[in-house]
Amino acid sequence: MTSLIRRVSERGCRFALDDFGTGYSSFAYLKELPVDFLKIDGVFVRDLARNPLSEAIVASVARIAEVMGAATIAEHVEDDAIVSRLRALGIDYGQGYGIGKPAPLDEVLDELRSSDDGPVAADLELVDTNPNMKLDMSGYFSRN
C-alpha cells in the first residue's frame, strides 16, 4: 500500500486517512502510510465543546499531524462552538452541516468562480458531469 501511495503521489494526488481514531484507522497506520491529511472522526468532534476527553483526543491528533507534516480535517462540524474550538486547537479544515450543506459540484464550481473571497482559479471545470455528484466544499473552513 505504501509504495502505491508514493507512486500515485508522484503524479500529484494527495491522500487522506479517513475516520481517524476509529475502526481500522489507527495510530499504527501513521507510521506506515504517507498520508497528506488526517480526517478526524466525527465521534470526537460532535461533542468537542462539551467533552474534555474529546478535546484532548482532537488536540493530540492535531499535534501528531503537525509532526507528520499532514493537515487535519474535522468531520461533523455542526455549530459555531465546535468551529471555534477546532480553530483554537489548530485544526486546518472542517466539514459539516454547521458550515455548509453539500451541493451539486457544478453549483459549487460556479460559486467558486464568482467568489470575491480570495484567489480562485478561473479555469475550474467540471470533469465528471454526473448530476448526482455532491461536494461538501462549501462546508470547509480553513484555519488560515
- Tell whether 67 and 13 lie within a shared domain: yes
State which residues form the domain around 134.
Answer: 101-138
The number of distinct structural domains making up the chain is: 2
- Tell whether 106 and 92 lie within a shared domain: no
pTM over 0.85: no
> How much of the chain, in percent, has pLDDT values that exceed 70?
74
Note the pLDDT tens digit of each residue in 93-137. Answer: 999 888 877 888 888 778 777 776 554 444 444 444 444 444 444
Question: CB 91: neighbour CB atoms within 10 A?
Answer: 27
- Partnered with residue 106 across adjacent β-strands are none
- What residues contact residue 16 under an 8 Å CB cut-off, 6+ apart? 35, 36, 37, 38, 39, 73
- Tell whether 74 and 126 lie within a shared domain: no
